[in-house]
Structure 1
């Protein structure tokens, strides 16, 4: 049994687009390119809220690496 009510919630393209604040077209592109966790039911895309939340965390973790590279490139420059 899920610890939170929304944890096992299944979302549609429209719901994921609203949740991520992007267009539906962006979600179609990400799902079709296997860049976001998704599955099809009867030919229509569906998304697990838990999987989307995990995907968001993975995307967020990757960001500091790029900031670190930028700051390390600037070290020693005067």
Structure 2
């Protein structure tokens, strides 16, 4: 079962996991180096990598806070 928990997640799956839109995911990949891996035309994510990035404040920068 550990194999299934360590699988690659799609954009839709990572959106549901984080509670954000796909537009936000693509913006975070581009502007904030969200950990994502391009596989052909698709973006894939490791849940643990994304969770660590979020905990480290990955999308929280002074530039990001100005837009609020």
Unaligned runs of 5+ in 2: 61-68
- List, as ranges, runs of 4+ consecutive aligned residues in structure 1 with deviation greater than 2 Å: 32-35
TM-score, normalised via structure 2 length? 0.69
TM-score, normalised via structure 1 length? 0.61
**Residues 66-77 of structure 1 mapped to structure 2, 5 A cutoff:** none
Q: CA deviation at 1:34?
A: 4.6
Unaligned runs of 5+ in 1: 63-78
RMSD between aligned alpha carbons? 2.2
Tell me, in whole angstroms, the C-alpha distance in 1 between the residues paired with 2:16 and 2:26: 13
Larger fraction in helix = 1
How many residues in Structure 1 have an aligned counterpart in Structure 2?
57
Q: CA deviation at 1:44?
A: 1.1
Q: Which has the larger radius of gyration?
A: 1
